[in-house]
Amino acid sequence: MSTRDRIAEVALQLFSERGYDAVGVAELATRSGSTKPTIYHHFGSKLGLLETLLRERFEDWLERLADIAQYRHDLPSNIYRLILAFFQFSQESPHFVRLQWSLWLSPRDSTAHAAVRPFLLQQHALLEQLFIDAIPDHGNLRGHHRHYALVLSGMLAGYVSAAPQLGQTLLEQDAYRLSKQFMYGIYAL
């Protein structure tokens, strides 16, 4: 693994564990077995490091997500597969997932929030679009696609981020339960 990639990985881990502001460039250098000049050689600045990190990770993830969120006249299947994907992804890359959600709710005017914001808006837009596309088959979604997108991502953020803290693991069975719960919540309204 290249020095560049080692730096990015260490940064991802430390940022997700202690927060962007609380981690100094000097520590990133030593922990990745590298030096400050090397970091600035590759990423230009501390913020550039964060942005690069997020961009590279989000590219793959948003591509995956776009496929899963593609409406195919079976909304329950979409919802289930979405939730499952988030669960699996947070087991593949727990640091990245934790970082993304923590930055999502992090203070509006923080440096770090500004860096994720565009990606999270894209992600949110994918969810909204799913609900918009499903309107012809599910009339009671009309006018409420934003509401449902918010609820879904809120549910996911809270569940995925907080569950590990409470000793709860993310199982397929939970994904199934969540999707059922969410869908029946739609049918009923």
Partner DNA sequence: CCCTCACCATACCGATCGGTATAGAACGTC
Partner DNA sequence: GACGTTCTATACCGATCGGTATGGTGAGGG
Chain residues binding its own copies by CB under 8 A are 15-19, 21-22, 98-99, 101-102, 104-111, 124, 144, 146-147, 150-151, 153-159, 161-163, 165-166, 168, 174, 177-178, 180-182, 184-189
For 2, the token pair is 């290249």
**Residue 34 makes contact with DNA by CB under 7 A:** yes
The residue among 70 and 184 lying less far from its own copies, judged by its C-beta, is 184
Q: Can you tell me the distance from the alpha carbon of 107 to that of 103, in angstroms, rounded to the nearest whole number?
A: 8
- Between 36 and 73, name the residue whose CB sits nearer to DNA: 36
Q: Which is nearer to DNA, 46 or 145 (CB)?
A: 46
Instruction: Say if residues 11 and 51 touch (Cβ distance below 8 Å).
Output: no
# chain residues binding DNA, by CB under 7 A: 20
CB of 168 to its own copies, least distance (A): 6
Q: Which residue has the tokens 């992804």?
A: 89
| CA 6 from centre of chain | 21
DSSP-assigned letter for residue 21: T
Choosing from 31, 35, 88, 144, the residue that interacts with DNA (CB under 7 A) is 35
Question: In this structure, are residues 32 and 50 in contact, taking their beta carbons and an 8 Å threshold?
Answer: no
Q: Which region among 34-42, 94-102, 160-168, 170-178 touches DNA (by CB under 7 A)? A: 34-42
CB atoms within 10 A of CB 26: 11
Gyration radius of the chain over CA positions: 18
Query: Pattern 8-27, binding to DNA, x per CB under 7 A?
Result: ---------------xxxxx
